[in-house]
Amino acid sequence: MQQFSLLFVFALLISLLIQLWLSARQKKSVVSHRGAVPDDFAEHISLESHQKAADYTVAKLAPNKIELVYSSVLLLIWTLGGGLEWLDQLVRSYQLSSIYTGIIVILSMLFISSILDLPFTLYRTFSIEQRFGFNRTNAARFIKDMLLNVMLTLVLAVPLIAGILWLMQGASPFWWIYVWAFLFAFGLIVSFIYPTFIAPIFNKFSPLDDAGLRERIEKLMSRCGFSNNGIFVMDGSKRSSHGNAYFTGLGKNKRIVFFDTLLNSLDEDEVEAVLAHELGHFKHHHIRKGLILNAVITLFSLAVLAWLIKQDVFYNALGVSQASTYMALILFSIITPLVSVYFQPAMSYFSRKHEFEADDFAAEQSKPQTLITALVKLYQDNANTLTPDPLYSAFHDSHPPAPVRIANLSSKIK
């Protein structure tokens, strides 16, 4: 038993060291390029915005490092320190049914963890984002958002956890396949209702009222064979000045959402280019591919869990004395990141491949030059660094670094 505890501590330590090392590399890369704008961007980006991006990137790294160490220590307290054991015994003493006990233990752990993480969230929003001029939220909205999040988590998590635990405790040895099907169906339902029921809890969505722009967008969409289910503008500016655009929903409930901040900083040609990129994701079935990949990974993980759940050493090595389905879920979610960190570069690689395909599609549908100017504006508005460390970026960035992306688009200019 003891060697498995040691293995866990060792894996936790290695994963922490990898993250800290990547973070140090990123800082070094950004700081060493702070003095000059990269040649390809010299015409478009001032030294002042380049340095702001560098300072912003470095400022965000510092609390991340502390948080990495802090959460590793917390993880040890939860497991070997007896935190989970204490919580489990406390809830068990009320002698509720095992499903109720499981729901209470899991939700308590989530709740305590998010309270313990709150200082970092507060620091990010009201110190870093504020200092660099991105924060638009205030204490009242922050608290309201937090309460809404708690309520939403309860509404979604209680039936989800109850369903999973119920299937796990059924007699079938193939419970993990049922749980997989249940998770898949649950995910589809949430994606379907997200744009109409969940997103509006936090933001206001109004139909795009600029007739000229709307007409151009509709033309582009029909040219690409995308059925028009609504183009919406979201009031992202009430929380942050960062801008974005995305697709959401499934089937008939699909819609396109622009942040108001994005529409304010891009001209019509550029908005069209950004939309063409998003339509590229749709054309290449990236959402469907992502869902399939996710389903395969989930099935594999559940098969591993189905084996672990029967091993007493799995619980004992992580500081829990009594086996239970809910504890298996919690412990599994604790050890998964220690393994998945090694797959992060592969996941980022697939995501980047999709970004290139979407960029190539946008370059065909509109002018590559226009997407370049749009991207440069967005990188500048969001103070994204143009000089990330390649290894840090391979682990953390779902999108290719700006210079690589822009070089690819430049090669498409006829």
State the residues that interact with Zn ion by CB under 5 A: 355, 358
Q: Could you tell me the smallest distance in angstroms from the CB atom of residue 276 to Zn ion? A: 11
φ/ψ of 140, rounded to 5, equals: -65, -45
Q: Could you tell me the smallest distance in angstroms from the CB atom of residue 407 to Zn ion? A: 17
Rounded distance between C-alpha atoms, residue 102 and residue 94, angstroms: 12
Question: Quick one: 63 or 403, whose CB is closer to Zn ion?
Answer: 403
Strand partners, 259: 234
Q: Could you tell me the smallest distance in angstroms from the CB atom of residue 358 to Zn ion? A: 5
Q: Could you tell me the smallest distance in angstroms from the CB atom of residue 281 to Zn ion? A: 6
Q: Could you tell me the smallest distance in angstroms from the CB atom of residue 273 to Zn ion? A: 12
Question: Quick one: 336 or 410, whose CB is closer to Zn ion?
Answer: 410
Question: Quick one: 85 or 355, whose CB is closer to Zn ion?
Answer: 355
Alpha-carbon Rg for the chain, nearest whole angstrom, is: 23
Question: Quick one: 45 or 358, whose CB is closer to Zn ion?
Answer: 358
Tokens of 93: 């003493």
Question: Quick one: 50 or 352, whose CB is closer to Zn ion?
Answer: 352
β-pairing verdict for 255-259 and 245-248: antiparallel
Question: Quick one: 335 or 358, whose CB is closer to Zn ion?
Answer: 358
| Position 239, amino acid | R
Q: Could you tell me the smallest distance in angstroms from the CB atom of residue 231 to Zn ion? A: 17
| CB contact at 8 A, 384 and 405 | no
